[in-house]
Amino acid sequence: MYKKRAVLLGVILLGIVVFFIFVKNEEPKENLIIQSQKTKEKDEITKEEKGVFVGDQAYDFTLLDREGNEIKLSDLKGKVVFLNFFTTWCGSCAQEMRYIQEVYEQYKEKDIVFLVVNVLAAEKKDVEGVNEFLDEKGYTFPILYDVDGNISVKYKVNAFPATYIINQEGIVEESVTQSMEKEVMIEKIENTLNK
């Protein structure tokens, strides 16, 4: 009888020890990963002096367009870049996109590049559904896909639409986190072109 209790008590104690070891090992791993990511992000910002605020060097990225071509932001130096993040389910985005199309038509022959980025990670549709949406609306401006959402995270997009206007040297000149009217877009583009 004593042996059975001793074995049972030993099994229970062993189970408790294993549980605490498992729980104790899991928390630090997660914390270390989070701390490592935060440290890495902080080091990148400090080392590269890049960011998403007015006056910051814009984060570089490479994304695919509708035709499967790689578009790299840093390859566009020397031109003003109108960078917009959107989703198809966003009502404000839908309202703004018609103005983007009009402004794109007005400026497409000038030294400005329009990069309108669909954040697939936040979408309710797949790529085909997004393409159908764009075709139905008749949008012809360049579309890029942020498939995993990493670029929108780098640009601290926490609401849609979000727009950044980047000057010829790759510096963020304007940051707008709401829908814009056509006149406001033109004003911000002109301000950047004429600096």
Query: Tokens in use for 186?
Result: 């033109």
Q: Which H helix or E strand runs over 162?
A: strand 162-166
d(CA 107, CA 133): 23
Region 139-168 average pLDDT: 95
Q: Phi and psi dihedrals of 155, rounded to 5?
A: -85, 5
Overall average pLDDT of the 17-46 stretch: 46
Q: How far is the CA of 112 from the CAs of 102, 131, 163, in angstroms?
A: 14, 23, 14
Correct CATH for 50-193 of 3.10.105.10, 3.40.30.10, 3.40.50.1100, 3.40.1800.10: 3.40.30.10
Q: What's the pLDDT tens digit per position in 92-103? A: 999 999 999 999
Q: What is the mean pLDDT of residues 12-36?
A: 47
**Residue 29, CA atoms < 13 Å, CB-side half-sphere:** 6
Please provide the DSSP assignment of 71-112 as one string: EEGGGGTTSEEEEEEE-TT-HHHHHHHHHHHHHHHHHTTSSE
Q: Is the pLDDT of residue 56 over 50?
A: yes
Helix axes 91-107, 182-193, angle to 10 degrees: 50
pLDDT at 39: 44
Tokens of 194: 């004429």
CA distance 162 to 148: 17
pTM beyond cutoff 0.85: no
Domain spans, the chain: 1-48, 50-193
